[in-house]
Amino acid sequence: MAKNTGRKMIAPNKKAYHDYFVLETFEAGIELCGTEVKSLRAGAVNLKDSYCSVHEGELFAHGIHISPYEQGNIFNRDPLRDRRLLMHKKEILRLAGNVARDGLTLIPLSLYFSGSRVKVELGLCRGKKLYDKRESEAKKSAQRDIERATRSKY
């Protein structure tokens, strides 16, 4: 039986790119129960206000909302429960050091299927100030205007 090695996006966290500068990205596994995976296949997940923290040498994701599976009955878990993320111990300790020392934050940027497994793309992020958000929005707007002008020219 051949394994599916493709990468299928479940949910991006667009708000994270608006609110933070992403300095570095990491890939982590996530510990889920069966009905949560079925909900993910249906796309019933929200990453908007989620973040990660290190507690006693383990990495946890807080605020990831995975809606209960409709046919799950008693096997459904709490939609907002804290979920353990799976990474190597050295990576976790390095991330914990960066977060504690530099005032950075770990933010889930996206959820995706890698083969049959669910992975989380984590970003080591620094918060944007209001003027940074305005500046990035102005750059996007200018780039859109340039593309629109070149398209209409030809």
Structural domain range at position 82: 7-128
Q: Does residue 152 lie in a domain region?
A: no
Segment 59-67 mean pLDDT: 90
Separation CA 148–CA 129 (nearest Å): 29
Instruction: Determine the 3-state secondary structure of 57 from DSSP.
Output: coil
Q: Does residue 98 lie in a domain region?
A: yes
pLDDT at 90 (0 to 100): 93
Q: Does residue 150 lie in a domain region?
A: no
Q: Does residue 142 lie in a domain region?
A: no
Average pLDDT, the chain: 87
Q: Does residue 101 lie in a domain region?
A: yes
Q: Does residue 60 lie in a domain region?
A: yes
pLDDT tens for each residue of 114-139: 988 999 999 999 888 898 889 999 99
Segment 105-122 mean pLDDT: 91
Counting the structural domains of the chain, the total is 1
Helix/strand/coil (H/E/C) assignment for every residue in 72-139 = CHHHCCCCCCCEEEECCHHHHHHHHHHHHHHCCEEEEEEEEEECCEEEEEEEEEEECCHHHHHHHHHH
Global confidence as pTM: 0.80
DSSP label at 45?
Answer: E
Q: Does residue 2 lie in a domain region?
A: no
CATH of the domain at 95: 2.40.280.10
Q: Does residue 1 lie in a domain region?
A: no
Instruction: Give CA separation, 10 vs 109, 114, 135, in Å.
Output: 11, 10, 29
